[in-house]
Amino acid sequence: MEALNRSLFLMINAGADPAPGMLWVAIIVAQWLIYGVPLLLAGFWLWGGPQRRAAVLVATLSLLVALSCNQLIAAAWMHPRPFMIQLGHTFMGHDAESSFPSDHAVVFFSVGLALIWSALRNVGALLVLIGVVVGASRVYLGVHFPFDIIGAFLVAIVSSWVVITGLSVGQVKQQLLQGLEGLYRRLFAFAINKRWVQA
């Protein structure tokens, strides 16, 4: 399996002298697109109705569970990044830490899958697709292996399922949502009164 992982990496990884434009796009995708995820969730909460806020709750919890799983896996099994074993070419700085699974990819996959299973299916599908592109960009730039991205997808599937299953027990989801909305209305009372955001 490791031989296949390395072979796939070398197929996707940039050559020694990639086109500057391609490198620039890959770095933007690999490093900066992730910041759009929390902004997207915040937007759906601040200007969304009950269904969208419920979707944000599920997505946020799925993300937290997925990132926690990633940390546990990385702590239990150290898998070196390509540049740590002098494999391929690296065009982006990164700490020398375990590569498996990819945190960047798991953010897109866990939020995307949660939204697919909630009220925002099209947005969720788009995020999963973007996650694939982000993962491929990080392999292209030499900081991840392909299996790191596949592993992130599997973690996201399990995390989203666990959260959705847990929230479906009794009134857990409704109670959490009511509590969060109450806190939100207290903290954002001024903005809500000004109609800058939705109550």
Mean pLDDT of the chain: 94
Q: How confident is the model at residue 158 (pLDDT cuts 50, 70, 90)?
A: very high
Contacting residues for 121 by C-beta, under 8 A, at least 6 apart? 115
Residue 44 binned pLDDT confidence (cut-offs 50, 70, 90): very high
119 vs 7: which has the higher pLDDT: 7
Q: What is the pTM of this model?
A: 0.94
Token pair, residue 22, equals: 């391609």
Is 74 within 8 Å of 100 (Cβ atoms)?
yes
Region 90-108: mean pLDDT is: 94
Contacts for 106 with CB less than 8 Å, ≥ 6 apart: 66, 67, 70, 152, 153, 155, 156, 159
Instruction: Identify which has the larger pLDDT, 110 or 49.
Output: 110
pLDDT at 196: 93
Share above pLDDT 70 across residues of the chain, in percent, rounded to a whole number = 100
Among 85-99, 134-148, 150-164, name the one with the lowest average pLDDT.
85-99
User: Tokens standing for 144?
Assistant: 């991840």
pLDDT at 170 over 80: no
Neighbours of 97 (CB within 10 A): 11
Q: What is the pLDDT of residue 184?
A: 86
The answer, yes or no, to whether residue 194 has pLDDT greater than 90, is: no
